[in-house]
Amino acid sequence: MSADTDISPTADGILEAITRVFAEKGYEGVRVSELAAAAQVNKATLYYQIGDKETLYHRVLERLLRRAADEVAGAVADAGDCESKIRRFIAILARNTGNLRFTAPIMLREVAAGGGNLPDAALLQMSRLLGMLGEALDEGVAAGSLRPVNGFLVHMMIVATLMLYSSNEPIRRRVAELNPGLAPENLFLSSEALADQVADLVLSSIRT
């Protein structure tokens, strides 16, 4: 069922290695030879183990989104009230480490491209995320602590803010240089501070 499980260790190592390259340069910006070099493998091995450039990319996408959704699901599962569910949801997505680090740039490019390269498997994982937040919001509404809002838009707001923020650090640096008046403590947040501030803003906008 899962495309990961019946995959050879070599193939998974390749996917692990090339994820970073796709994240940094984007599908069109990457040369197959770079992928091979990153995976420390001959170009032909990529084709033998996985497939052509497009297939490589699809596999990377699926793997990445499944892991992201799994991580969030794990964190949200054992949270108490709806507010802490939402906070954990945000906290995980704000964390910019491991494989999650590459999710944002890849997804930003996918969105920009109209999602033409997003396989259904990847969309399903996005829907999982959407569902988790939706449940937390519904729970809050039922409990009377949250007002009913457009859950999809709130989801978009959270994900968009976190993805853009995680990815635009180099741009922020330049903006800060160009505008010495800007307070650096507002521009450069640790992922924890980012999560807290985003959660505060979001929650105070949807509380009753």
Partner DNA sequence: GTATGGTTTAACCTTTTGGTTGAATTATTT
Partner DNA sequence: AAATAATTCAACCAAAAGGTTAAACCATAC
Where along the sequence are the contacts to DNA (CB under 7 A)?
8, 10, 30-33, 41-45, 47-49, 52-54
119 binds, among a copy of itself, DNA, none (CB under 5 to 8 A by kind): none
Between 13 and 131, CB nearer to a copy of itself? 131
Q: Diameter of the chain by CA atoms? A: 59
Q: Say which amino acid occupies 153.
A: L
Alpha-carbon distance of 73 to 88, in angstroms, equals 10
Total residues interacting with a copy of itself, rule: CB under 8 A: 60
Contact string 119-158 vs a copy of itself (x = CB under 8 A)? -x--xx-xx--xx-----------------xxxxxx-xx-
Alpha-carbon distance of 162 to 116, in angstroms, equals 23
Alpha-carbon distance of 186 to 134, in angstroms, equals 29
Alpha-carbon distance of 104 to 51, in angstroms, equals 24
Binding site for a copy of itself (CB under 8 A): 24-29, 104-106, 108-116, 118, 120, 123-124, 126-127, 130-131, 149-154, 156-157, 159-161, 163-165, 167-168, 170-171, 174-175, 178-179, 182, 186-187, 189, 194, 197-198, 201-202, 204-206
